[in-house]
Amino acid sequence: MSDGHSDVRFSAAVKEIQTRKGSREAYAEMEAQGGTRTEIDESLEAFLANTNSFYFATSSADGQPYIQHRGGPKGFIKVLDKQTIAFADYSGNRQFITQGNLSENPKAFIFVMNYAYRQRIKLWGEAKVVEDDPALTRALMPQGYRARPEQVIVFKLKAWDINCPQHIPQKFDAADVAAALGSRDQRIAELEAELAALKGEPAPAPAG
């Protein structure tokens, strides 16, 4: 028995291969227990709130795939309700491949990677471009972010899943590394000043 939503992730062809390679029974058991996630819970909302980069996949009506990077300050992806997320779509190279694909095939996929914590999340759903809602565009535009919003993309969630961390390299954003190094340097300066005071010596000059 399938839970219905699992068909979004596992097509008949996928299930046939799972059967041939020995993993179908385990996934069928998960499906029977309602294992496919279909709503945005607190953990997913928190993960998205901490996201500054993801990949957005679409395809044309004849199945030609396309994937595009989307980025912005943390929090630029907004959760509108338990099954809807949205983000301001900034002006770019004006190829409009994603928008063209969505105009004839609403099926879409979001892939989010957090390298620092070695986590990846997959979201299946349908998306649409909203060009005529200035209020929604303003609400989704990150305050102070230097980009020109051209439209909005609204994504209706069908299913989501978490991949295991195997083979994900651990990487850190440059801004996070700079902040960590700044805190370290400040603490070193404080300790050096305390040591100099104990020795009755002048405090060291600040670095830089």
Summary count for the chain: helices (H), strands (E): 7, 7
The CB density around residue 105, as the number of other CB atoms within 10 Å, is 17
Q: What is the pLDDT of residues 19-54, one digit of tens each?
A: 999 999 888 887 777 667 899 999 999 999 999 999
Please tell me the distance from the alpha carbon of residue 4 to that of residue 8, in angstroms, as a whole number. Answer: 8
The pLDDT, as a whole number, for residue 162 is 86
Better-predicted residue by pLDDT, 202 or 62? 62
H/E segment holding residue 178: helix 174-199
Predicted confidence at residue 21, as pLDDT, reads 94
Whether the per-residue pLDDT at 7 is higher than 80: the answer is no
Phi-psi region of 4 (alpha: psi -120 to 50; beta: other; left: phi over 0): left
- The 10s digit of each residue's pLDDT in 150-172 is 999 999 999 999 878 888 889 99
State mean pLDDT over 56-69.
96
Predicted confidence (pLDDT) at residue 1 exceeds the cutoff of 50: no
**pLDDT value at 3 more than 60:** no
Dist CA 121 CA 54 (whole Å): 10
pLDDT (0 to 100) of residue 77? 96
pLDDT (mean) for 109-132: 94
Q: Is the pTM of this model over 0.85?
A: no
Question: Taking residues 173-188, what's their average pLDDT?
Answer: 92
Please give the Cα distance from 137 to 89 (Å, whole number).
9
Average pLDDT, stretch 122-145? 95
The arrangement of strands across the sheet holding 53-59 comes to 65-71, 53-59, 107-114, 119-130, 149-163, 84-90, 78-81
**Residue in this structure with the two tokens 């020995």, named with its chain if needed:** 22
The DSSP code sequence of 112-176 is EEETTTTEEEEEEEEEEEE-S-HHHHHHHSPTT----EEEEEEEEEEEEEEE--TTPPP---HHH
- Average pLDDT taken over every residue of the chain: 90
What φ, ψ does residue 129 adopt, rounded to 5°? -95, 130
Mean pLDDT on 109-133: 94
Residue 22 and residue 1: Cα distance in Å, rounded?
17
Q: Report percent pLDDT > 70 for the chain.
A: 93
- Asked if residue 118 has pLDDT above 50, the reply is yes
pLDDT 10s digits, 90-108: 988 889 999 999 999 999 9
Among 108-112, 126-130, 158-162, the minimum mean pLDDT is found in 158-162
